[in-house]
Amino acid sequence: MTTLTGKRVLVTAGAGGIGRAITTAFAAAGAKVFACDIDEPALLRLQAEVPGVAISVCDIADRASVERMVAEAAAALGGLDVLINNAGIAGPVASVADVDPDAWETVLRVNLTGTFMVTQRAIPHLKQSGLGTILVMSSLAGRFGYPDRSPYATTKWGLIGFTKTLSRELGPSGIRVNAILPGAVEGPRIQQVLAGRAAASGRSVLEEEAAALANQSIKRFVDPAEIAALAVFLASDAGRSISGQMIPIDGDSQSAS
């Protein structure tokens, strides 16, 4: 197992889904982990099940909440070595012509501006580390157009530009910055999506799953633990020469749909 003994790690949206898998994997690798999330009950369950993890309730879309949370994380951990920008929302399903402008702005505020605010506050602490790492959670939708998901795709493409810019700005300070681009991830969310598609189409859930996997070379959804393992590798010394990269983990998907 890759070890990160003593590394001080902040994970946003760290109490559920991919974030929980990341929090658990870093803790198992010996890191000191601070997880924030908007879901307090999920945070409390995480803390009970993963001893040693520090937690904080945080709304990534709220600047004051972010400022408080990053300060709490740095104080609790004694600094920061790794920032995992995992927080994000899916947003509405609608064509560009029909998207509610308020819904559009909400997605941008969480996915783009929230990531910016957390990162900006974390940078001084990461610079003190000397060997800092930032990981940004983009998406398959950050590589392809995604019909009826324009707010989500726009933010995930925007995070690519953010990652590239950060890697250039922070490299001289010894900070590496990379983006992870998951495809469809196994779990309750994708099963709900498939059930909704089946109800609309009249096909079975299994038929909808086959259709969803048709554009992938590897015919299965991504396990959150695999994404977490990639994050651990990139934050470890094994990834010390990797920066400014967009790393898909999507079964070789050829489109977003």
Question: Which of the two residues, 215 and 3, has the higher pLDDT score?
Answer: 215
Mean pLDDT, the chain, integer: 93
Catalytic residues: 152
How many Cβ atoms from other residues are within 10 Å of residue 207's Cβ? Answer: 14
Mean pLDDT, residues 83-110 taken together: 96
Dist. CA 247–CA 256, nearest whole Å: 16
- Largest pairwise CA distance in the chain: 57
Dist. CA 213–CA 182, nearest whole Å: 14
For residue 183, the model assigns a pLDDT of 87
For residue 193, the model assigns a pLDDT of 75
pTM for this prediction:
0.94
Q: Which residues pair with 54 in a beta bridge?
A: 34
Question: Which of the two residues, 198 and 247, has the higher pLDDT score?
Answer: 247
- Listed in sequence order, the residues at least 6 apart from 125 whose beta carbon sits closer than 8 Å to its beta carbon are 70, 74, 79, 80
pLDDT-based confidence at 255, cuts 50/70/90?
A: confident
Mean pLDDT, residues 7-19 taken together: 97
- The answer to whether residue 70 scores a pLDDT higher than 70 is yes
Which tokens sit at 105?
A: 């702005």
Q: Which residues pair with 216 in a beta bridge?
A: 253
Q: Do the strands 246-249 and 32-37 form a parallel or antiparallel pair, or are they unpaired? A: unpaired
Mean pLDDT, residues 91-102 taken together: 94
Handedness of CA 35, 36, 40, 41 (dihedral sign): negative
Dist. CA 56–CA 98, nearest whole Å: 36
- The H or E element containing residue 35 is strand 32-37
pLDDT-based confidence at 107, cuts 50/70/90?
A: very high
Lowest mean pLDDT among 34-43, 50-59, 205-214: 205-214
Residue with the two structure tokens 């050829």? 254
pLDDT-based confidence at 237, cuts 50/70/90?
A: very high
Which has the closest alpha carbon to 9: 77, 87, 86? 77
Which tokens sit at 90?
A: 């899916």
How many Cβ atoms from other residues are within 10 Å of residue 95's Cβ? Answer: 10
3-state DSSP of 55-110: EEECCCCCHHHHHHHHHHHHHHHCCCCEEEECCCCCCCCECCCCCCHHHHHHHHHH
CB 52 within 8 A of CB 24: no
What DSSP designation does 114 have?
I
% of the chain exceeding 70 in pLDDT: 99
Digit-coded pLDDT (tens) for 113-151: 999 999 999 999 999 998 899 999 999 999 999 898 999
For residue 175, the model assigns a pLDDT of 97
Dist. CA 254–CA 141, nearest whole Å: 11
Digit-coded pLDDT (tens) for 177-200: 999 999 888 877 787 777 777 787
- The answer to whether residue 220 scores a pLDDT higher than 60 is yes
For residue 27, the model assigns a pLDDT of 97
The CA–CA distances, whole Å, from 63 to 22, 121, 161 equal: 24, 10, 22
Dist. CA 140–CA 179, nearest whole Å: 11
pLDDT-based confidence at 3, cuts 50/70/90?
A: confident
Lowest mean pLDDT among 64-78, 118-132, 204-218, 223-237: 204-218
- CATH code assigned to 8-184+223-248: 3.40.50.720
The domain segmentation of the chain, as residue ranges, is 8-184+223-248, 186-221
- The answer to whether residue 1 scores a pLDDT higher than 60 is no
